[in-house]
Amino acid sequence: DAKTTQPNSMESNEEEPVHLPCNHSTISGTDYIHWYRQLPSQGPEYVIHGLTSNVNNRMASLAIAEDRKSSTLILHRATLRDAAVYYCILRDVGETSGSRLTFGEGTQLTVNP
């Protein structure tokens, strides 16, 4: 999997939007951008993924730069429950086996009340 770079930590206030950046300058044309998060003492949880276009779901939005070398996970109104480690992961569209996710260090998001 191509490498991603994320800030070690970010802080937000409750009910404010949060923009979590991810750089992936070596992304290939066939890499999907996935985001997972891990709440304290829990397993990772899928958040969202995209290829080229911006994506929205009930949890978050994913904004992908036009050159695809970076992306931003947007939480529209952070809650205390959103405090977690957020992982940005690239997965090649050519993978056909039940293939691995390669987790990095992620971004520890702290949400202040």
Binding region for other proteins (CB under 8 A) = 30-32, 34, 36, 38, 42-46, 49, 87, 91-105
Residues 47/84, Cβ–Cβ less than 8 Å: no
12 vs 73, which CB is nearer to other proteins?
A: 73
Would you call 77 helix, strand, or coil by DSSP? coil
15 vs 45, which CB is nearer to other proteins?
A: 45
Conformation bin of residue 15: beta by default, left when phi > 0, alpha when psi is -120 to 50: left
Provide, rounded to whole angstroms, the least separation between the CB of residue 91 and other proteins: 4
Provide, rounded to whole angstroms, the least separation between the CB of residue 69 and other proteins: 18
14 vs 55, which CB is nearer to other proteins?
A: 55
> In angstroms, rounded to a whole number, what is the distance separating the alpha carbons of residues 93 and 13?
36
Hey, what amino acid is at 49?
A: H
> In angstroms, rounded to a whole number, what is the distance separating the alpha carbons of residues 56 and 30?
20
Provide, rounded to whole angstroms, the least separation between the CB of residue 97 and other proteins: 4
20 vs 91, which CB is nearer to other proteins?
A: 91
